[in-house]
Amino acid sequence: MAGTLVKICGLSTPETLASAVGAGASHVGFVHFPKSPRHLALADAAMLRRQVPGHVKAVLLLVNADTALLAEAVRTVAPDVVQFHGAEPPETLARFRAETGREAWRALAVRDAESLAQVAAFRGAADRVLLDAPATALPGGNGTAFDWSLLAGWQAPLAWGLAGGLTPANVGEAIRLTGAPLVDTSSGVERGPGIKDVDKIAAFCKAARL
């Protein structure tokens, strides 16, 4: 799909951030979740965030952050978007948007067709939902995909993106099958847990735009 947005998540070094920006990513993601191999301290995320050019949006991923951590994260990192990747209810996102004026995204696990019904609850609360594979060891970044055929004919009630198991080899097909307006990858452009590969980042961005 022409104009597909691309988010490269879990970036942790200036080199890989520069690679994502140079390859045309529309969004770059930083993870603040200690259990993740992509975890960054807020100060480190802030350092990288300052290197993001104005035409690219910086996304900070948090998992079930309490009010104090959320406020500290926004103050320290100043992200364009906070990606809520836990069990946060619509009310949390709506309040965050109202209080900060920043975008709020919510990751949602897709197990079956019925699980798509949960998306509607976030209409008016989230700026975008990310449809992801169900959590395993971690809430995300596990390199697994859900059944994309579940999205055939689906009418999204708000802006959305596709995540989970996307790689340079399959992202083009994923876009063709789902019509995803945004694709999000993390482990799919790594050579090891948390270790991004600049060549894979470039290949992913190129494949998403063919």
CATH of the domain at 186: 3.20.20.70
Can you say whether residue 164 is alpha, beta or left, with left for phi > 0 and alpha for psi between -120 and 50 degrees?
A: left
Query: How many domains is the chain built from?
Result: 1
Domain holding 184, by residue range, is 5-208
The whole-angstrom distance between residue 38's C-alpha and the CA centroid of its chain comes to 13
Cβ atoms 140, 186 nearer than 8 A: yes
pLDDT in tens, 84-138: 999 999 999 999 999 999 999 999 999 998 889 999 999 999 999 999 988 655 5
191: exposed, middle or buried (C-beta count within 10 Å: 0-12, 13-18, 19+)?
exposed
Can you say whether residue 16 is alpha, beta or left, with left for phi > 0 and alpha for psi between -120 and 50 degrees?
A: alpha
The whole-angstrom distance between residue 85's C-alpha and the CA centroid of its chain comes to 9
pLDDT in tens, 66-78: 999 999 999 999 9
